Amino acid sequence: MQIGGLQKTSLLDYPKKISAIVFTKGCNFKCGYCHNPELFSNETSSISEEVLFEFLQTRIGKLDGVVITGGEPTLQKDLPEFIKKIKDLKFLVKLDTNGTNPIMLEQLLKNNLLDYVAMDIKAPIEKYRVITNSDIDTKKIHESINLILQSKIGYEFRTTVVKEQLEIADFEKIGQLIKDANTYYLQRFLPTKTYDKSFVNMHTYSDEEFSCIKQILQKYIKNVFVRG
């Protein structure tokens, strides 16, 4: 595993759980608003697996779970074996993914290696390539959404909302894309550290506009929240 970082404690990243966060290296997207651009390269791990598991051993009984985020964790070929070692320590595992590797996601779900999945919905399908600066096969996004909707574990979908990228009308299409989902988060874009430096001058929507967006989405999704 190419591990780019470790946050030893979080009360926010795994719903209702105390967790540690493992950041994997490498990503197949180059979203302008990304706040972890240092993880794009997967060349050298910042933390060895040995050091990570030594730490986790000291947190047995103190942490509920481990969040695996990135970068894009499903690019790591040894992800199933890595998660199994975490599960062997009796931790819950939450995976953050962009949904571009449904084959890996299906393997993890079938082998009961995940307890919670959070998938980023970057945009309506027709805007994906522009927002992610990638030549992604959008069929894989559909496949991952369906896998999550059909799974029996906890999950959420979420979108980082940059006003200059997503029009209010786009959320109708996003609602249709993940129709019948249980939980969806609108994440306010915060112009701090970003991959594309021009994004520090971009914005998110006002509270009133988010209320309007929520009303649109609630036609399709049971629970819609604004985060941040």
Per-residue pLDDT at 152: 93
Per-residue pLDDT at 40: 79
**Whether the Cβ atoms of residue 82 and residue 114 lie closer than 8 Å to each other:** no
Q: What is the per-residue pLDDT across 157-174, written as a single tens digit (0 to 9) for each? A: 999 999 999 999 999 999
**Residues in the chain with pLDDT values less than 50:** none
| Domains defined along the chain, listed by start | 3-161 (3.20.20.70)
Instruction: Please state, in angstroms and rounded to a whole number, the distance separating the CA atoms of residues 218 and 213.
Output: 9
Q: What pTM was computed for the model?
A: 0.95
Instruction: Please state, in angstroms and rounded to a whole number, the distance separating the CA atoms of residues 142 and 138.
Output: 7
Per-residue pLDDT at 139: 97
Instruction: Please state, in angstroms and rounded to a whole number, the distance separating the CA atoms of residues 88 and 66.
Output: 12
